[in-house]
Structure 1
Amino acid sequence: MSKLAFNQPDLLSAIDAEPAEGLDQLDFGVIGFDAETAVTHYNAFESQAAGLSPQRVLGQPLFTLVAPCMNNFLVAQRFEDAAESGTALDDTIDYVLTLRMRPIKVKLRLLAGAQRGTRYVLVQRA
């Protein structure tokens, strides 16, 4: 297993191929979700940083129960737009997380393939 980097090219393919144990070794958060926004991947880094156990998050709707602070045009809407148009998504944005914590500046990388089922929000904390 090679170490994946938050800003590496073609990261979507690499994350899709990485087993859960490998995702748990990363130094940034990985939240994967399906077309209905149910969380399918939640790595150890994100669990510890957000204070939410995988058992509490997996299977739950990302944008309404897990991270409603991302249910807006900057994050959730980009995934919807990409899905509707059948295009891939790979955007990195500066963001402020606010739910259940003091505001924290992060970088989010939004990844979705044109034909892939799993989409990802990657969270890099400073």
Structure 2
Amino acid sequence: MSSDQHAFDFANITLADLDRLDSTAINDLPFGVVGLSPEGLVKVYSQTESRAAGLSLDSVLNTHYFATIAQCMNNFMVAQKFEDEATLDTMLDYVLTLRMRPTPVKLRLLKGSDASLSYILILRSR
């Protein structure tokens, strides 16, 4: 595996990498990617996440992620961290429960004080 490929692993991809990738590259990632504006509106929604969640890009873009799309993440473990922290790079085991049977996932929360978007990466078991 080249160092470029390694940089795009779930555990190693950076906020700068995500900001730099175009939509095709984001769609090629093997995990879900959700990019949020400072107000919590969905600005990036990868095809991987769209397929896994069963939600179309058109139905998700510009909606409030925690209030509308991922209400099961609207809690102190996920949404509140984005509210409270200026910067984040946190991984946590989580169980998605909205619109699906309980699905264990690993989440990675990424936020930078000077970044235009914050990201939630969602790794599902295969």
With the length of structure 2 as denominator, give the TM-score of the two structures.
0.92
What is the CA deviation profile of residues 5-38 of structure 1, one whole-angstrom value per residue up to 9, with x for unaligned ones?
10015x1110110001100001000000101111
Give unmatched runs, 5+ long, in structure 1: none
Matched, 1:122 2:126: no
Residue identity in the other structure for 1:120: Y
* Superposition misfits of 4+ residues, deviation over 4 angstroms: none
- % identical equivalent positions: 46
Q: Is residue 106 of structure 1 aligned with residue 105 of structure 2?
A: yes
Distance of 1:112 and 1:18 partners within structure 2: 16
Spell out the pairing of 1:47-126 with structure 2 (5 A cutoff). 47-82=50-85, 87-126=86-125
Task: Name 2:28's counterpart in structure 1.
Answer: 25
The size of the alignment, in residue pairs, is: 120
User: Match for 1:8 among 7, 12, 15?
Assistant: 12
Q: CA deviation at 1:88?
A: 1.4
TM-score of the two chains, using structure 1 as the length reference: 0.92
CA distance in 1, matches of 2:116, 2:17: 15
**Runs of 5+ unmatched residues, structure 2:** none
Match of 1:27, SS?
coil
RMSD (Å), alpha carbons: 0.9
Structure 1 counterpart of 2:58, which letter? Q
